[in-house]
């Protein structure tokens, strides 16, 4: 089987409807994640974890105790934007996957890293820079460790913190001063490779960096 080619995306899931099939540890973590994002989450399972039961107080959360094998799989996923499958039942998994395809719903198969359509990565944040890491099923422990390493490394580097802060300010300056998107992009690329500007940014010299950018804008 060919290795799937997946495109990394950050998708706004507030208000989206997510169906979680299963009630164990993975199902609980998926439900928690999408609830935190503002999604409406419905869980269907024969048994659910204590942590899942505690989430029932959330107005965006519904739990249906039922045997998935006895349900009309096409009917239960109607109206959902994403289906999460987290049940150790291969026959049921195949049925769900076929139904997902028929109904054109996004599918996160937490039991099969190859067959899944949507990968849920380990994510984090450093000064507004979102970091998402996945090994696409090879090792969640390794992916989590890499995420933590990246965030720890960035957090221990004041130069990178300064660089990010200056770029946030400089981008707004360029955006407000240059109407042409094409010209703005040329300025971004020039500054990206400009050692003098990078030195100002890494040292956190905001005013000097802004004056430098003004010169670049004037000179076209």
CA distance 27 to 43: 8
User: Structure pTM?
Assistant: 0.87
Q: What is the pLDDT of residues 66-110, one digit of tens each?
A: 999 999 999 999 999 999 999 999 999 999 999 999 999 999 999
Strands 129-133 and 122-126: antiparallel
Q: What is the pLDDT of residues 124-147, one digit of tens each?
A: 999 999 999 999 989 999 999 999
- From residue 198, give the alpha-carbon distance in Å to each of 55, 189, 217: 47, 12, 16
């Amino acid at each position: 089987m060919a290795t799937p080619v997946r495109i990394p995306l950050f998708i706004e899931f507030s208000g989206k409807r997510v169906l979680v099939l299963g009630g164990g540890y993975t199902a609980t973590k998926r439900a928690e994640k999408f609830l935190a994002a503002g999604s409406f989450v419905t869980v269907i399972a024969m048994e659910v974890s204590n942590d899942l039961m505690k989430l029932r107080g959330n107005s965006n959360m519904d739990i249906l105790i039922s045997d998935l094998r006895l349900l009309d799989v096409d009917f239960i996923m109607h109206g959902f934007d994403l289906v999460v499958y987290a049940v150790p039942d291969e026959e049921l998994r195949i049925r769900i996957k076929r139904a997902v395809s028929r109904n054109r719903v996004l599918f996160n198969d937490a039991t099969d890293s190859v067959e899944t359509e949507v990968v849920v990565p380990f994510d984090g944040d450093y000064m507004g820079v979102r970091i998402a890491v996945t090994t696409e099923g090879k090792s969640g422990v390794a992916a989590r460790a890499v995420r933590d390493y990246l965030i720890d490394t960035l957090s221990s580097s004041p130069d990178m913190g300064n660089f990010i802060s200056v770029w946030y300010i400089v981008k707004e300056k360029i955006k407000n001063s240059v109407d042409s998107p094409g010209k703005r992009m040329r300025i971004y690329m020039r500054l990206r490779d400009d050692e003098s500007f990078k030195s100002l940014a890494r040292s956190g010299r905001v005013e000097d960096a802004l004056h430098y950018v003004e010169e670049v804008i004037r000179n076209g």
